[in-house]
Chain A
Amino acid sequence: MIHLKNINLTLPSFALKDINLDIQKNDFFSIIGPTGSGKSVLLEGIMGLIPFSSGNLILENNDITTLAVEKRNLAIVYQDFALFPHLDVTQNIFYGVPYHKIPKQTAQKRFDSLVTTLGLEKITKRSPKNLSGGEKQRVALARSLIFNPIVLLLDEPLSALDPIFHEEAKQLLKKIHDDLKITMIMVSHNFSDVLYLANRGAIIKNGSIMQQGEIVSIFERPNSKFTASFVGMKNIHPISMQNGNMIIIKNDIEIIPAHKPSKTDENMGIRPEDISLKAFSTDKFENCFQGKIKKITSNGIFLNIYLQTQNFQFEAIWPRSYLRDHDLNIGKIVTFGFHPESVHTF
């Protein structure tokens, strides 16, 4: 559907390097990376707002690398929504209609249905400056969706919203994707949003793609230290093989993985939520340690627990209730461990 082939883009202080992406019809594709990794530049490049230095952009078997922005039939919803301040909500939504040869009745019909779907009935005559962040975003979505773009690009759609609109907007995006069967490319730095919304995606770092594919597989099988920590993996350490056993180099601790690491793997990682107390686990505890609770910090609903063994430290995430119910405190000695399946190597 959309293919990026050997895309390079050089800006004075930044460059995209040899980007290859395949985005399929109806994908909810996410470009994921930290701030400054080049994901928004890539999005603007696909849109045609910044020219690529080399490479090809293929959309439905047509090479659109040098096609003018307005002829691409793609649409973008910006992080700051970019509503036109001198036009009211209705005028904003209708803005692109004259350029897409849509019959008047069809446009009106789409307008009516979008207004209903997006809950804009009460604000159609308002000026954008009197709208909340969530409302602005829905207007921006309607403005793009009214002409049925081939692909809808979303630039960090959730990060500019207040937390109370965040959840609502997330569900709305999912609903739009499911109902309208539209291909979406979303730029995001929040992996939990991506897990909820996207089916496929790519991790980008310093202008290069680190890994791409199914979101679930990126989440479960990160192929690099960077991706691993980006998708929430902790307890990342360099490993080596000794007599067929996998050990953490730092202090010779033997870890039993479910799958034998490949020759190129240099690190392992364990999700903090995969570490549990022995007393409350039915898992086969092949990786079992005894240690002291050294530090507890809060990250909201969950707590980060730092477990100190004789010569090593693990980081776990446990719910508050877990600690309360089992009377766990700093200094308490516990037996904990994790399933071999939880050991990821890369």
Chain B
Amino acid sequence: MKRIEPLSWLFMFISMPLILLLTLPLIKMTFQPSVEMLIETIRDKDVVNAIARSISLSFFAGLLSFAMGTPLAYLLARKNIIGKRIIEGIIDLPIMIPHPVVGIAILSLAGRNHPIGRFLSDVGIQIMGTKTGIVCVLLFVGLPFYVNTVKAGFESVPIRLENASRTLGAGAFTTFMRITFPLTWRHMILGIIMCTARAISEFGAVVIVAYHPMTAPVMIYERFTAYGLKYSQPIAVWLIIISFILFVILRMLSRSINQ
């Protein structure tokens, strides 16, 4: 039998409470509601809509981060742009700012008393209480996860390969499409997954920008404050189950394409 180092035992002993801290509450909550209760909850149209809204808007935020965050990640990975460190710091900001603050900050910019807010409402874009507003905050909180993941991906491609492509006659854009993209798309999928996952979990910023249309976390909070634990739990369970299945499928898909 393989001997286990005493140090490994010690580390395992210290790690155990952490694992339990992460798993016990979730397991307890998942198995607490009765099956009838779960079935009843999923028949509630509002619940289904809220979960669908949460997932679809989060995924949309993930796709936006792909479309707009990819060039940013590339610039940060490849170019020595002025103020690069500052930009990197700014991108990480959403991770540390309290989430309600994010919501308040966005609202203060989008309000009628700010030129940007006035411009937005003139062209017919509403932030407060709309899906646009929700996507906006979800992108805000999810972007660091996308940009950092994909930046690491670009950094893992030797610049020499891009140079070699250029010397063989391919232009900068063709080089990106034929060399850089094929070598980093897995990072992009991972980035979209990370950004989407982060967005699904967002509550604090969303609740300030848009209480309605209701996303799943807001609904869970509402049911909790209005009816108590028993009525909020089943929604939470469904959100966890559906998100979990979706992410497992996405991961498996990206792995199978890989092979």
A residues near B (Cβ < 8 Å) are: 44, 47, 49, 68-70, 73-76, 78, 80, 82, 84-86, 95-96, 98-100, 143-144, 147
Contact = CB atoms under 8 A, between A and B. Distances in A.
Contacts of A69: 163, 166-167
B160 A96 contact: no
Given A70-B171, A85-B183, A86-B182, A80 B160 contact: yes
Given A82-B158, A82-B161, A84-B161, A100 B167 contact: no
Q: Please report whether the interface of chain B is mostly helix, strand, loop or mixed according to DSSP.
A: helix
B170 interface: yes
A75 B168 contact: yes
Q: Which 8 A-B residue pairs are closest in the complex by CB-CB distance? A: A99-B169, A96-B168, A82-B164, A69-B166, A96-B169, A82-B160, A86-B182, A70-B169
Contacts of B174: 99
A75 B166 CA distance: 10
Contacts of B182: 86
Contacts of B38: none
A85 B161 CA distance: 9
B155 to A, nearest CB: 16
A185 to B, nearest CB: 13
A70 B170 contact: yes
A48 to B, nearest CB: 8
Chain B interface extent, by class: 10 to 19
24 contacts: A47-B167, A49-B163, A49-B166, A68-B171, A69-B163, A70-B168, A70-B169, A70-B170, A70-B171, A73-B169, A74-B167, A75-B167, A78-B160, A82-B161, A84-B161, A84-B165, A86-B183, A95-B170, A96-B169, A99-B168, A99-B169, A99-B170, A99-B171, A144-B167
Nearest to B179: A84
Interface centre among A49, A68, A143, by most chain B C-beta atoms within 10 angstroms, is: A49
Contacts of A47: 167
A11 to B, nearest CB: 12
B106 to A, nearest CB: 40
Contacts of B183: 85-86
A201 to B, nearest CB: 22
Contacts of B166: 49, 69-70
A106 to B, nearest CB: 15
Nearest to B175: A70
A275 B163 CA distance: 48
B9 to A, nearest CB: 39
Contacts of B178: 95
A41 to B, nearest CB: 13
Contacts of A76: 164, 167
A100 to B, nearest CB: 6
A134 B167 CA distance: 21
A47 B164 CA distance: 10
A44 B161 CA distance: 14
A82 B163 contact: yes
